[in-house]
Amino acid sequence: MTRRLDIDSLRALQTIAACGGVTRAAEKLSLSQSAVSHKIKRLETSTDCPLLNRRPGAALLTEDGLRLVQYANRILALHDEALAALGKNKMTGKIRLGITEDTTSDGLAAILGRFSRQFPEVAVRTHVSQSLVLQKEIEDRTIDLAVMQIFSEDVRADDLLLYENELCWVKAIDFELPTEAPVPFLSYDDNCFYRHWMLEHGSTCGHRFNTVLQCTSRTGIVAAVEAGLGVTILNRRHISSAMEIIEGDFPTPPRISYIVRQSRHAKSNSVSALANEIARETKDIALLRVA
């Protein structure tokens, strides 16, 4: 029997990985769950490998599934690029994109450059802001698309999930936590959802906090921690060798997810194409981080 990788089945697997489950993938693809499951079964038959873990509590994808998703991203990107290049209907329009500072290091500039070359008649205007600002802009229809981070519990069924990570309380290695005085806290600005969570839950541990620095830049917060100015909540990916994680003293922050969120009022093909391009191109990075 000739072994083949079906494009629609690869798309289903890619969407399951991006959405975090079969149910969300079915909603995203406008298919029934049984149809999506059938496509995965077809792939498993073709590859003679289990791709999804079906045990409760296990990781969503098997090792073979993770490996195939990486190939699927590349195959589907070339497939879609070929169709766009050969298609008679050119993609046009304007896209208002918002991204966080935290996502600017994930190769977004290169992705936007390739997208602009592939679709020269689509104008993309990008601005950088905090996640809470971008969420409001999505709801207010002032942007069409956002690449941002949110608490994992707030991920929507129609969000494209890039990857998850954890937040940690951190301090400089040689910084001693005060036992009587308020704990000096290093904060992003008022639009930071880390700060909102800390103000709501931080006092439950019996400590008092005193904000000694507010800064909109992650680079500034990292420098302040390393200099021993106080403690902060930081994404694990940004913890340096000059810092240490504070265990047990403060309440455990929730996990965060990096997502692509499209405005429910932005129905153009160009917006959906850019959202899918960002999700595909960042998936290899995402899989490495999740692992």
160 is a domain residue: no
Residue given tokens 């403690």 in the structure block: 231
Domain count, the chain: 2
**Which structure tokens are listed for 99?**
């991204």
Q: Find the CATH number of the domain harbouring 24.
A: 1.10.10.10
Count of Cβ atoms closer than 10 Å to residue 23 Cβ: 13
Give the pLDDT confidence score for residue 224 in this predicted structure: 97
Tell me the residue range of the domain where 242 lies: 165-255
Give the pLDDT confidence score for residue 260 in this predicted structure: 92
Spatial distance between the Cα atoms of 215 and 189, rounded to a whole number of angstroms: 6
50 is a domain residue: yes
Domain boundary among 88, 113, 145: 88
260 is a domain residue: no
> Per-10-residue mean pLDDT for the chain, 291 residues long?
84 87 86 90 92 82 89 82 68 91 77 86 92 94 94 86 91 93 92 88 84 91 96 93 93 93 82 84 50 36
Q: Find the CATH number of the domain harbouring 195.
A: 3.40.190.10
57 is a domain residue: yes
154 is a domain residue: no
